[in-house]
Amino acid sequence: MRNIENLYDYTVGQFEAIDHMLTMGVGVHFAALVFFIVVSRFVAPKYRVATALSCIVMLSAGMILFSQAAMWTDAFRFNGEVYTLQDLTFSNGYRYVNWMATIPCLLVQLLIVLNLKGKSIFSTATWLIISAWGMIVTGYIGQLYEVDDLSQLMVWGAISTAFFVVMNWIVGVRIFRNKSTMTGGTQSTITKVFWLMMFAWTLYPIAYLVPQFMPSADGVVLRQGLFTVADISSKVIYGIMITYIAIKQSAAAGYVPAQQALDKIGMDKS
């Protein structure tokens, strides 16, 4: 019983709220997958990997959420009054493992639209991925203690946060340094992407801390809600903004399908 999700009984409302949020997450990520596949032809080849990475993230997140939803409904049974744990347990740990793959994709797609190339994209990506993996692995270890040792949860959480700060610092420096290379009027959009990241990514450590500040069935509902909002903002909305920037920069570089697409939706290409 690693996660506090397994400690409580849930009312029908609490149980269904979680089931529905996870299922909505599945639907949103798979719908967005179709969107990214369709619009990728408006993105110039030099930026297209950014959109392809969104496709990978959508598939990966959609599948993990599908399995979270199935695990949730398998772990509990309705006894006529409340939902109560059966012989299987629920775990959030799968999410952390999934981030090992999705976070590097999210970071690299950012570097692509920031026009980083060659050696500098490689070395920036390396440092970002090392700090992201450090953050995830230490956070994964910490969440194993959330039921029986909150002090371990806090210590590992603090170590993980140190990696998180380094990663955000590199992201911020890169965005604000490379902004001047960005074309097609996308400089203000990349600033919004930065703030979206700061907001959405911070929801994950808040979800991690729920066992500390709200160890109850309602806390579990809150945690799964935080995860849902964080997932949709940090992957789907973020991905749409990245692809929008990619299309605008493609048009500014003279890529005709991008210009036509922007004309159609009434956005000028400057």
In the complex, least distance from residue 263 CB atom to ligand RET, rounded to whole angstroms = 33
CB atoms within 10 A of CB 213: 9
Label residue 65 exposed, middle or buried (CB < 10 Å: 0-12, 13-18, 19+).
buried
Indicate the residue among 76 and 208 with the shorter CB distance to ligand RET: 208
- Distances, alpha carbon 162 to alpha carbons 93, 107, 190, 205, in Å: 20, 18, 24, 12
- Distances, alpha carbon 66 to alpha carbons 28, 85, 89, 98, in Å: 11, 20, 16, 13
- Residue 192 CA to residue 204 CA, distance in Å, equals 19
Indicate the residue among 40 and 168 with the shorter CB distance to ligand RET: 168
What size, in residues, is the chain?
270
Place of tokens 């003279």: 254
In the complex, least distance from residue 256 CB atom to ligand RET, rounded to whole angstroms = 33
Biggest CA pair distance of the chain: 64
Closest CA to 22 of 223, 167, 162, 195: 223
- Residue 59 CA to residue 192 CA, distance in Å, equals 25
Given a contact cutoff of 8 angstroms between Cβ atoms, the answer to whether 245 and 186 are in contact is yes
In the complex, least distance from residue 90 CB atom to ligand RET, rounded to whole angstroms = 17
Which residue's CB atom is positioned nearest to ligand RET?
139
Indicate the residue among 65 and 252 with the shorter CB distance to ligand RET: 65
Q: DSSP label at 83? A: E
Indicate the residue among 43 and 106 with the shorter CB distance to ligand RET: 106
Closest CA to 169 of 128, 141, 119: 128
- Residue 148 CA to residue 166 CA, distance in Å, equals 29
Indicate the residue among 42 and 208 with the shorter CB distance to ligand RET: 208
Given a contact cutoff of 8 angstroms between Cβ atoms, the answer to whether 26 and 65 are in contact is yes
Cα of 106 vs its chain's centroid, Å: 8
In the complex, least distance from residue 195 CB atom to ligand RET, rounded to whole angstroms = 15
Indicate the residue among 85 and 170 with the shorter CB distance to ligand RET: 170
Binding site for ligand RET (CB under 6 A): 61, 99, 102-103, 106, 135-136, 139, 157, 160-161, 164, 201, 204-205, 208, 234-235
In the complex, least distance from residue 75 CB atom to ligand RET, rounded to whole angstroms = 22
Indicate the residue among 71 and 159 with the shorter CB distance to ligand RET: 159
Indicate the residue among 232 and 261 with the shorter CB distance to ligand RET: 232
